[in-house]
Amino acid sequence: MKKRASGFTLLEVILAITILATMAVISTQALSRALKARTKIQAEVDDVSSLRDSLRMIRADINLAFHHRDFEKEMQDLATKPASSTTTAPGAVASAQQPQRQTKRYDPTTEFVGDDSQVNFVTLNSGRLSSAVVQADFVEVGYSLKSCNNLTTNKASSCLYRRIQNIVDEDVKSGGNEIVMLENVSEFKLRYIGETKQDWVNEWNSSNTAVDAGTRGRFPDSVEVSLGIEREFEGKQKSYSMQLVIPIHFPNNPARGGGNPANTGQQQQQQQGGQFDQ
């Protein structure tokens, strides 16, 4: 009896090759989609991380904003101020008896100047990298938007710059070195609020030349920062934004209405006592 030859027919081989090719195409497409999804998610994570890191730095700077006041000079001015009546307050020193300093005193000028798109102030958020560095415990810091080119794509975008100057001078808005903190910025808005303001304002100027008497010589109590970025990924625009209300830990502002802070406190206690008596 003649044996039947074993093996695959041509049709079976074609079917097997077709199935294998189909499975290879499906696997390749699935792998490609997975890689694209991973790239997209990683880009989103990087963008959100960069946004958070920038806001974290801004928050640290604003939290430690440093408002210097010469309390010795303020007390001297109060002590030498002509009395409105013949009665002299206890502890007051006559101007003729007031001791004079032997050496001239130089006090730093610390200001807080900002509008809705940029801000400049003095902060304690700085460390001395070397003992040979000429630097105080506080530095000038500024944030602003400018155009910059991406080093990878060479495309221009709006970038958030952080300026820092180790030497505090009379102009808090200039000097020092600038670095790019964040690229592709679509939003950078600032608002301020303080004891002298009933609502958020778009400008704050603590310098002696400020037109607004409510901000002159005063730092804000809190700063609202809105920061957003926008980038293109596979032909689609993706945007992310965050908003923070950042308090200044120690504004160190003078008492409202001027005068001796101790007297102001006594007046407040008297007023509270009067209210309780009623």
User: For 230-267, what is each residue's pLDDT tens digit?
Assistant: 987 777 888 999 999 999 999 999 887 554 443 433 33
Residue 247 placed within a domain: yes
Total tally of structural domains belonging to the chain: 1
Residue 70 placed within a domain: yes
Kind and range of the H or E run holding 232: strand 222-233
Domain coverage including residue 53: 16-77+106-255
User: For 112-153, what is each residue's pLDDT tens digit?
Assistant: 999 999 999 999 988 766 667 777 788 999 999 999 988 777
Residue 137 placed within a domain: yes
Tokens of 126: 């700085």
pLDDT at 49 over 80: yes
**In this predicted structure, what is the pLDDT of residue 37?**
80
Nearest to 219 by CA among 74, 67, 115: 67
User: For 67-87, what is each residue's pLDDT tens digit?
Assistant: 988 776 667 777 777 755 444
Residue 268 placed within a domain: no
Output the pTM of the full model.
Answer: 0.72
Out of 172-176, 204-208, 232-236, 250-254, least confident range = 232-236
C-alpha 88/C-alpha 72 separation (Å) is 20
Q: What secondary structure letter does DSSP report for 65?
A: B
Residue 83 placed within a domain: no
Nearest to 230 by CA among 160, 163, 161: 160
C-alpha 119/C-alpha 18 separation (Å) is 66
Residue 7 placed within a domain: no
pLDDT at 188 over 80: yes
**In this predicted structure, what is the pLDDT of residue 44?**
84
pLDDT at 277 over 70: no
